[in-house]
Amino acid sequence: MFKITGLDKITKELDQLQRVIGGLDGEIGQVKFDPSDPASIESAISDVENMIDQKAGHYASNSMAASIIEQMKDTYRQAILDKAAEARAAGDNA
């Protein structure tokens, strides 16, 4: 016979992961930025990262949650960069 240990830890981590996902589901917040100003873009990215940390950062010690949190930050960073590039391109074509 053998004994499985560590299930309590995994259960706790999965529960925390569920809370992180629930907390990040839906609207995170809103940011505005000047697409032609790199400092404004970086400020918007920083603001979004802070919003994510406020909603889920207290679970960052959970490796599964930390991975989701970092993926969310990367996704929003890229979305802001893409929107800025689109806005600049639309301004050039106007």
71 pLDDT band, cuts 50/70/90, is very high
Stated length of the chain:
94
pLDDT digits (tens, 9 = 90+) for 73-85: 999 999 999 999 9
17 pLDDT band, cuts 50/70/90, is confident
Place of tokens 């100003």: 37
* Predicted TM-score (pTM) above 0.85: no
* C-beta separation of 13 from 67 below 8 A: no
Residue 46 confidence (pLDDT): 97
Alpha carbons within 13 A on the beta-carbon side of 73: 20
pLDDT at residue 87 tops 80: yes
pLDDT at residue 93 tops 70: no
Place of tokens 């809103």: 30
